[in-house]
Structure 1
Amino acid sequence: MDDRNEAELIRTLAGAADAAPEPAGDLLTMIHRRRGRRTRRRVQSALAVAGVIAVIGGGTAVARGAFSSGGGEGRILTDATVAATASAGPADAAKSRKGAIRPAAEVWPAAVTKISAKAADGWKYRPVTGLSATELLLAAESSFEKAGRLEAYDTTAGKSTVLADMPTPDGVKGYFVQDIEVGAEYIAWWGETPNNSDAWADFWAAPRAGGTAKQVGQVTGDLSKVERIGVTADSVVWSVAGGGIYRMPLTGGSPEKIEGTDGLHLLSWPWAADVAQGGEGQDWEKNQTKAVNLETGQTVEVNVPDGVRGLRCGPVWCFGKEKGQDITVVQRVDGSDRKTLPPGLSYMGGEQRILARGFGLLSVSEVVGRDAAGEDVQVPLAAVYDPTTGTMAGIGKRDRSGGGGYGIGTSSSPTSILYWDEGQRQVGECETVDAGAVPRPSGEPVPTGKIKSCTGVSKGGGKELTVVNLLAVPSTE
């Protein structure tokens, strides 16, 4: 398969994936229980370009088993938000979007840096969040999503410093670190054993300046259904599926429910909301109606406009969608400064809709086209939106196939980091198979004969990451 046909193949696959309906039920249960919430979101995005397509005859492609990409947390997520409009051809649409969204390196040059994708010992880096405008928190992994230590990377000096090892608790098999949280004095994280049926989780903390990590404690049952965590000067706090926020002293001890938190879900300590921010079974159509400061007791009521669904807010800004349409609505919590964004810019599903400092993450529904000179016109995979100024900055880089990937930092609170590997590309891998072996919707007749079955896979990369740290963006409010 030559490069041109390969590119067209992946474009077709990506377009079909974006147009396909969401799968019914829990996608992770349908595939494989691997890493709890973080991996579930990864699987949702990866399937968008990993669906099988059957190429029949002279290049006609039919999507098979492809799911829509709903966004989510990504450790280099494959993304296939591709849609052509009826009023404009792919090249025209791409050119207009390119003019509207400049790359983050052009918009916020001080916030973008390049780092090695691996530590000196070969462990892979996974960005977590910003520690400051010039420091990045990185998790180093000995194998796939197996975090083993935390490092602070100085973007000015171009070097990293080990902060703490992240040990596996004694006698626990199949243990994986989940989300990591940065506090003023400590960095905390929680872990679980997602590949078995135990309802169990534990919490760890290490000094933010560096030092030995200590297991704070363990929980079982409903208390182990952790959504998000926070860390204060003396406690680890967390919210659970179904609502309710708990704390445990850093010195160890029994968990204690924080008074008045029934039905509340942690946003970023000390703020909580009355809608779930992560986990299974949540209703993403439901609107948030308040934000609560658990330190002061202050309750901020959200002014929810008519016809808006899925409204999610931080202490200042909210993002939602117009009911029945893929139109993003942005407003302050009190309803002021309300605006709608142009079609094709949709705020992401899942937990990572709102980033640090109230920035929003938007998917960009476009294609890679060619201009009048026959050159590729690149469109970003996603965009970061500053609701205060209306500034947008492009994230990620599409390859010639229209695919690509980007990652979202793995902090528990809204992260300040997005990243991608510009050396990675999407390619089509094909093989000739029996037509009856290709997945098809229930009730369709079984085809006969031989067909070419192709999947989109990631190739290359692994040397360098481009990182955007929103803590380095000049303050606009």
Structure 2
Amino acid sequence: MNIEDLLRETFSEMAAEEPPPAPERFLPHHRARPRRRWFALAAAAAVAVSVAGTAVLVHTLRPHLTPSPTTSVQSTVPPNRTPDAPAPASPAPPLGKMWPDAVHTAPMTLPNHQTFRPEVFLDGHTILARAGKGNSASRPVYWSYDLESRKARKLVDFVPPPKTDFTSPVVAGEGHLVWWTVSWGQVMGELAIWTAPATGGVARKVTSFPQTMKYGDIDYIAVTGGRVVWSRGIQGGVYEAPLSGAEPRMLPGTTDFHLIQWPWASPPQVSGDPTEQADARRIVNVLTEEVRDAVTQPGERVSCAVTWCLSQLGVRHRDGSGARALPGSVLSGIALDRFVVLREKHAGGEFREVLYDLSTGRAGDLGFRGKPGSRESAKFYEAIWVDYSSPALFSYELAGKRIIVDLATIS
């Protein structure tokens, strides 16, 4: 069985399970994942690997930043106690009714009838729409698309390098668009990072380095302070290059680090548990060297963002406070240090997927009503994956329309 078949089976099994799987099944086991759709595929593969009992890859890790001696890792959650489960609640309202200012409905094509993929929000009602066949060797064309007027304007007609095999999704910041490509030569590949003005224009190369992975060895990338910052997915390390262009530079003391949200990164393991780095139990601010540890139980599996941690016990703050059960099974990572996708079980055995706000406890029904175990259900699960690397734009297809959510506007 090849990896494609394994992934299809995994998605189908996930969608078919009843009762829903426990939250910890969906906790990540490693960092090396491409973004968005390919993040979902790799995450499913990680689940399949975990179920199969395959050992997790262990790096040789050497800490470079020393934690503060005042950092406490003592748990405030009583051992072997699950936080009190919430009382049964009525089904969540539709996503658009819960957050009407953040949710948009769009057709599946641009006014020129080209299919497109939403990439990022350019303002409160305008998105960057990527058109063109596939995700890789064909030339992507980037459009601004006004979700209110339904008007589109070409922003960037990007010409990838020869033999480009992959063009990544776009991130945005400080008036710039940034993405990367992977192209191949006779010896090995090259990963090149590109930028263009968010108002449109010609793409410029920021930097490049050798590459041996099809989708590129970047697990997080952002624009900040006039530069691009990223971390390497397999070998780790936090790097930067000015938007004006230069050779990449590793930030001092970040060998083996993985960014989870700029400027916070997960450092090398400190306790001998090879899963802790991927789970971000310890995070370090790479600018200030501040260290934050997650409060955990011995042997407990967690998956943390900067503020929140998920585990088989539910959700709680990184410092152990605010522990509570979740009203459903976790189907994703944590996006924007705040949002997860849950599967709730309701009367009559009906399953509903919701976008759940960890900060407020509010949820919006995504509207999917497919039969568990169907190919449609597996496809929907793939589309709604979010995690630490996801942008503020959350999008999926429903009943022939595209639902586009601006997570950053939800208060």
CA distance in 1, matches of 2:264, 2:385: 20
Q: What one-letter code is carried by the residue in structure 2 that aligns with 1:467?
A: I
CA distance in 1, matches of 2:253, 2:265: 11
The answer to whether residue 222 in structure 2 is matched with residue 230 in structure 1 is yes
What do residues 283-336 of structure 1 show as CA deviations (whole Å, max 9, x unaligned)?
4795423333334x151413322154233212xx213213xxxx43231x3333
The answer to whether residue 166 in structure 2 is matched with residue 186 in structure 1 is no
The answer to whether residue 238 in structure 2 is matched with residue 245 in structure 1 is yes
CA distance in 2, matches of 1:413, 1:204: 18
CA distance in 2, matches of 1:197, 1:312: 39
Q: Larger Rg: 1 or 2?
A: 1
The answer to whether residue 334 in structure 2 is matched with residue 354 in structure 1 is yes
The answer to whether residue 277 in structure 2 is matched with residue 293 in structure 1 is no
| Conserved? CA contact 1:181–1:413, under 8 Å | no
Q: 1:292 to 1:414 in 2, by over 3 A?
A: farther
Aligned residue for 2:321, secondary structure, equals: coil
Partner of 2:352: 380
The answer to whether residue 366 in structure 2 is matched with residue 395 in structure 1 is yes
| Conserved? CA contact 1:328–1:345, under 8 Å | no
Partner of 1:138: 129
CA distance in 1, matches of 2:115, 2:185: 22
Q: What one-letter code is carried by the residue in structure 2 that aligns with 1:391?
A: R
Q: 1:413 to 1:231 in 2, by over 3 A?
A: same
Aligned residue for 1:389, secondary structure, equals: coil
* TM-score, scaled to structure 1: 0.60
Of stretches 192-201 and 397-406 in structure 1, the one that deviates more from structure 2 is: 192-201
CA distance in 1, matches of 2:163, 2:34: 15
| C-alpha displacement of 1:204 | 0.2
CA distance in 2, matches of 1:411, 1:210: 28
What do residues 141-198 of structure 1 show as CA deviations (whole Å, max 9, x unaligned)?
33456561223333333333333223211xx224221232111131110121489983
Q: 1:188 to 1:41 in 2, by over 3 A?
A: closer
Partner of 1:268: 261
Q: 1:293 to 1:154 in 2, by over 3 A?
A: farther
Partner of 1:336: 321
Superposition map of 1:430-469 within 5 A: 461=400, 464-469=401-406
| Conserved? CA contact 2:190–2:210, under 8 Å | yes
User: Which structure features the higher share of strand residues?
Assistant: 1
Aligned residue for 1:468, secondary structure, equals: strand
What do residues 229-281 of structure 1 show as CA deviations (whole Å, max 9, x unaligned)?
122343222211232111223232222111121232122333323279xxxxx
Q: What one-letter code is carried by the residue in structure 2 that aligns with 1:346?
A: V
| C-alpha displacement of 1:37 | 5.8
Q: 1:321 to 1:237 in 2, by over 3 A?
A: same
Structure 1 runs not aligned, ≥5 long: 1-10, 27-34, 48-66, 69-95, 277-281, 371-376, 424-460
Q: 1:203 to 1:110 in 2, by over 3 A?
A: same
Q: 1:14 to 1:410 in 2, by over 3 A?
A: closer
Q: What one-letter code is carried by the residue in structure 2 that aligns with 1:414?
A: S
Aligned length: 343
Partner of 1:128: 119
CA distance in 2, matches of 1:13, 1:231: 35
Partner of 2:67: none
CA distance in 2, matches of 1:115, 1:467: 7
| Conserved? CA contact 1:147–1:176, under 8 Å | no
Q: 1:271 to 1:211 in 2, by over 3 A?
A: farther
| C-alpha displacement of 1:222 | 7.7
Q: 1:152 to 1:337 in 2, by over 3 A?
A: farther
CA distance in 2, matches of 1:368, 1:193: 51
| Conserved? CA contact 1:236–1:247, under 8 Å | yes
Q: What one-letter code is carried by the residue in structure 2 that aligns with 1:15?
A: A
Q: What one-letter code is carried by the residue in structure 1 that aligns with 2:264?
A: W
CA distance in 2, matches of 1:113, 1:194: 39
CA distance in 2, matches of 1:268, 1:207: 23
| C-alpha displacement of 1:415 | 1.9
Partner of 1:438: none
Q: What one-letter code is carried by the residue in structure 2 that aligns with 1:466?
A: I
Q: What one-letter code is carried by the residue in structure 2 that aligns with 1:328?
A: G
Q: What one-letter code is carried by the residue in structure 2 that aligns with 1:299?
A: E
| Conserved? CA contact 2:111–2:152, under 8 Å | no
Of stretches 333-342 and 198-207 in structure 1, the one that deviates more from structure 2 is: 333-342
The answer to whether residue 205 in structure 2 is matched with residue 215 in structure 1 is yes
| Conserved? CA contact 1:181–1:230, under 8 Å | yes
| Conserved? CA contact 1:408–1:417, under 8 Å | no
What do residues 361-404 of structure 1 show as CA deviations (whole Å, max 9, x unaligned)?
1330548958xxxxxx6x433x2222222111222412356644
Q: What one-letter code is carried by the residue in structure 1 that aligns with 2:304?
A: R
CA distance in 1, matches of 2:175, 2:208: 21
CA distance in 1, matches of 2:113, 2:310: 41
Q: What one-letter code is carried by the residue in structure 2 that aligns with 1:362?
A: V
CA distance in 2, matches of 1:101, 1:285: 34
CA distance in 2, matches of 1:185, 1:283: 37
What percent of counterpart residues are identical? 24
* TM-score, scaled to structure 2: 0.69
Q: What one-letter code is carried by the residue in structure 2 that aligns with 1:253?
A: A
Q: 1:41 to 1:253 in 2, by over 3 A?
A: closer
Q: What one-letter code is carried by the residue in structure 2 that aligns with 1:208?
A: A
| Conserved? CA contact 1:419–1:467, under 8 Å | yes
What do residues 206-236 of structure 1 show as CA deviations (whole Å, max 9, x unaligned)?
1122221112222105896222212234322
Partner of 1:428: none
Of stretches 255-264 and 213-222 in structure 1, the one that deviates more from structure 2 is: 213-222
Q: 1:301 to 1:269 in 2, by over 3 A?
A: closer
CA distance in 2, matches of 1:162, 1:414: 24
CA distance in 2, matches of 1:305, 1:13: 27
Q: What one-letter code is carried by the residue in structure 2 that aligns with 1:420?
A: Y
1:345 to 303, 311, 329: 329
Q: 1:247 to 1:118 in 2, by over 3 A?
A: same
- Tell me the C-alpha RMSD between the 2 structures: 4.2
The answer to whether residue 408 in structure 2 is matched with residue 471 in structure 1 is yes
| Conserved? CA contact 1:135–1:155, under 8 Å | yes
